[in-house]
Structure 1
Amino acid sequence: MSTVLSVTKRETGHRSTLTQLRKGGAIPAVIYGYKVDSTPISIAAKDFKKSIQKNGQNSVFSLELEGKKVNAVVSEIQQCSLKDEVNHIDFLAINMAEELEADVPIKLLGQSVGVSEGGILMQPNLELKVKVKPTELPESIDVDISSLKIGESLTVADIRDATPVEIISEDDYMLVTIVAPVSVEEETTENEEGQESV
């Protein structure tokens, strides 16, 4: 079910205009895509935040703009790292009948056996690219890592068949790996060997 949000067309241009918008509790944004010319808009920050908390960032938004409703998904969010505030949003207008490509966060489930034994968990990639109908877009892709031992890894090939949506990312796309810790003894031995060879 889409979330209905009211948006307002805005004038582009001066940075001071954007600052005023943000001070007034609005977020500058843009909408483009299916049957929509690129249009600068603004949206109430509290409404957007409430919607994200309730439905997640990957939900479909029904944007009301000048009496017209446009189905859209969030393409990009720019945030201020210092204040944890949203500075700008890109909305992509979509055709609800067609599949779309989207980046979905990877959610690791369980406690790895390897980590329990002292291994270090490495997650080189935080998102997966999927192809799915807008109404079926997941908030995250769950990956069970509980059986992973030290030296073992998981790639897309390991989860593709068990994932309910089509994953576009390549089979060798690394999701998580458990690496062996470097012990103090090993470090000491390496240092001694290095000193002897000098």
Structure 2
Amino acid sequence: MVNVLKATERTSDRRSQLRELREQGGIPAIIYGYKTDNTPISIDNGEFIRTMREVGRNGVISLDVDGKKLNVILHEYQEDPIKKEVIHADFLAVDMSQEIEANVRVELSEDAEGVRDGGVLQQILHEVVVTAKPDEIPEIINVDISGLGIGDTISIGEIRGNYPITINHEDDEPIATILAPRVEAEPSEEETETEKAADSENTDTEEKE
């Protein structure tokens, strides 16, 4: 079942009206894409947050613009850096039978064997670009790293077959690796003797005082 989000077409982009819209709990937005002219709209902030929680970042939404429904996905959004509130949203109208590109977040699951042995996990790829039909785009790409030991790396080629979509990256592109633990170098004999001499000088100075 596709979630419905109600919207109203806007007739103005004047700053004063956009500010008033936000103050009243709305978000200015725009629709473009499949069989759709660029259309400025407004949506309710609370309804938008509720819908995105239910469908996820890449979920398909039925956008009801004054009674006309369009299948869309959230393409981009702008957020106030201080208030952390969405201040503008771009919706892409899609043809459900045609593949599109989308960015999908990468999450690592399970503790790696190498981390338990003291290694340091480094996630290199946090997002991947995929191609799929709109309703087949996953919310996240989950990568199991439990078998990685110190010095091991997991790459795109090793997860490609886990999802029935096209991952638009080279097979050898690394996702995560386990680095060897840092080992502090032992001080050399010369450094040790220098430290002892410095300590001795400090002691002599303190005794004279």
User: TM-score by structure 1 length?
Assistant: 0.88
Q: CA deviation at 1:145?
A: 0.6
Query: Cα distance, 1:124 vs. partner?
Result: 2.1
Structure 2 equivalent of residue 67 of structure 1 = 67
Please give the alpha-carbon distance, in whole angstroms, between the structure 1 residues aligned to 2:186 and 2:105: 36
Contact 1:63 1:71 in 2 (8 A): yes
Equivalent residues of 2:152, 2:177 under 8 A apart: yes
In structure 1, the residue matched to 2:173 is 173
SS of corresponding position for 1:161: helix
- CA deviations on 1:86-126 (whole Å, 9 max, x unpaired) are 12111100001111111111121100111122222111221
The answer to whether the 8 Å contact 2:30/2:41 transfers is: yes
Q: How far apart in 2 are the matches of 1:183 and 1:126?
A: 28
- Determine if the alignment matches structure 1 residue 23 to structure 2 residue 20: no
How far does residue 15 in structure 1 lie from its aligned partner after superposition?
Answer: 2.5
Q: Please state whether the residue corresponding to 1:185 is helix, strand or coil.
A: coil
Paired position in structure 1 for 2:206: none
Kindly tell me: are residues 188 and 130 of structure 1, through their superposed partners in 2, closer, same or farther at Cα, counting changes over 3 Å? farther
In the TM superposition, residue 162 of structure 1 has moved relative to its aligned partner by 2.3
Tell me, in whole angstroms, the C-alpha distance in 1 between the residues paired with 2:80 and 2:58: 20
Residue 164 of structure 1: how far off its partner (Å): 2.8
For residue 196 of structure 2, what is the aligned residue in structure 1? Answer: none
Q: Is the 8 A contact 1:3 1:59 kept in 2?
A: no
Q: Secondary structure at the match of 1:51?
A: helix
1:1-198 correspondence to structure 2 within 5 Å: 1-185=1-185
Q: Distance in 1 between the 2:177 and 2:11 partners?
A: 48
Supply the AA of the counterpart residue of 1:89.
Answer: A
CA RMSD of aligned residues (A): 2.2
By how many angstroms is 1:75 displaced?
0.8
Aligned residue for 2:8, secondary structure, equals strand
For the residues of structure 1 that align with 2:35 and 2:187, how far apart are their CA atoms? 61
Are residues 187 and 113 of structure 1, via their aligned partners in 2, closer, same or farther at CA, if it must alter by over 3 Å? farther
Structure 1 position 186, deviation (Å): 6.6
Stretches of 4+ aligned residues off by more than 4 angstroms: 186-189
Q: 1:24 to 1:165 in 2, by over 3 A?
A: same
Could you give the per-residue CA deviations for residues 37-89 of structure 1, whole angstroms, max 9, x where no partner exists?
Answer: 11111110101111111221211011111321111001112222322211211
Q: 1:186 to 1:21 in 2, by over 3 A?
A: farther
Identity of aligned residues (%): 44
Contact 2:55/2:61 (8 A) holds in 1: no
What is the CA distance between 1:19 and its match in structure 2?
1.8
SS at match of 2:162: coil
- Segments of structure 2 that go 5 or more residues without pairing to the other structure are 193-209
The TM-score normalised by the length of structure 2 is: 0.84
